[in-house]
Amino acid sequence: MDLQLTGKTALVTGASRGIGLATVSALLDEGMRVVAAARTITPELKATGAIGISVDLSTAEGPALLVEQAVAELGGIELLVNNVGGGDSGEGWTGGFLTFTDEQWYETFELNFLASVRTTRAALPHLTRGGGAIVNVSSTSARTPHAGPITYSTAKAALTAFSKAIAEEFGPQGVRVNTISPGPVRTDMWESPDGYGSEVAKAMNVPQEELLAQLPATAGMVTGRLVSPAEVASLIAYLGSPLAASTTGADHVNDGNSVKTV
């Protein structure tokens, strides 16, 4: 299927690995010119041929500087993919509410919510000039807050609500805004030996391999497997394309039916 994206421009955050890296590859395959932002420009990201920009989006000034550089490189932005996120991995993130400090709350909201708010604010003047699209990567944790660290789930819920509000405000100016809420995705978050999956396995006193094997069933995923980054990337590409011209203000769950509510 031709998504009619050839020659169009995109900015993707959190692009060094996982969903972000897969999204960069998917958009390039559709003929887009892509600026890929990450704290570290990995060899895998360099190999895609995207324009890599190293930036820390958890800082107050990082998003505006990124958008300025992206516009200089591309001449404009027609699709913004706010994929940057984290703060839900490694030691200290598997306890309950009383275990989280103010610093952890601030850190998680800066990266998972405010980074997207600031990047969106900087990019919107460019998106409204000729119409454009924003896709924000949320999480099923926003719908099922018990399924992840409370700081992460709450920040993602804020991101989903923010996206709905922006879709309403800027829709009349030709800007479409959607979110994607993946379930457990086969990324370093679950597979890294020092990531969130490893800590969950330790807390449950089971090998990490066993946790990953059981996770789809535990999460209620009727597909019997974790979501692949490429599957999420394909949906992002579609939502950013003219083929989805009437799709806005929606949250698209990509979770193997782990969320059972209507």
Phi-psi region of 76 (alpha: psi -120 to 50; beta: other; left: phi over 0): left
Contact 32, 5 (CB under 8 A): yes
Among the options 106, 152, 196, 238, which is catalytic? Answer: 152
> Does residue 106 have an active-site annotation?
no
Beta partners for residue 51, in sequence order: 35
With beta carbons less than 8 A apart as the criterion, state whether 81 and 240 touch: yes
Name the helix (H) or strand (E) containing 167: helix 150-170
Torsion, CA 85, CA 32, CA 132, CA 183, rounded to 10: -30
For residues 178 and 249, the answer to whether their CB atoms sit within 8 Å is: yes
Paired with 134 in beta bridges are 80, 177
Closest CA to 78 of 142, 117, 139, 130: 130
Among 160, 171, 170, 109, smallest CA distance to 135 is for 160
Residues labelled as active-site residues: 152
